Amino acid sequence: MAARIKKDDIVVVIAGDQKGARGKVLRVFPDKQRVLVEGVNMVYRHVRKSRQNPQGGRIQKEAPIHLSNVMPLDPKTDRPARVRFVTAPGPDGRPVKQRVTAGRNASGAVLSEVRTHARKPKGGSKA
């Protein structure tokens, strides 16, 4: 199943303490259904002294939040929007799957093209 939120998307937090915050998706954890958003859900990590960090102390970093708490930002309307998938003709005439904003207030802007992998035929050679 294609991902509705991908790395480098600009998203809006729609629930929780950080509601209304915007940021770029740094990383997606599909197995845990979580995303890491730049500048959102900052936590302190207590770090021991080491060669990499000779000072030690507390470092602030982002913590993952659940996918259901973020929505992609519609680039045309500058508002959060739902995502749907559309098949449209590509530049070479072949159909291309695209992520498109959807919903009542959405503009229908194309967020990105979904790359499909060539499928290998089932079974092996019977020669």
- pTM equals 0.75
Residue 1 has pLDDT above 60, yes or no: no
The answer to whether the beta carbons of residues 24 and 38 sit under 8 Å apart is yes
For residue 55 the two structure tokens come to 């000072």
Please list the residues that pair with 72 across neighbouring strands.
11
Domain 1-73 maps to which CATH number in 2.20.25.10, 1.20.1050.10, 2.30.30.30, 1.10.645.10?
2.30.30.30
Backbone φ, ψ for residue 8 (5° rounding): 75, 5
Q: What is the pLDDT of residues 31-64, one digit of tens each?
A: 999 999 999 999 999 999 999 989 999 999 999 9
For the chain, which residues make up each domain, given as ranges? 1-73, 76-118
Q: Determine contact, residues 14/80, Cβ cutoff 8 Å.
A: yes
pLDDT at 82: 82
Distance CA 56, CA 114 (A): 43
Q: What angle do CA 62, 75, 12 make, to 5 degrees?
A: 30
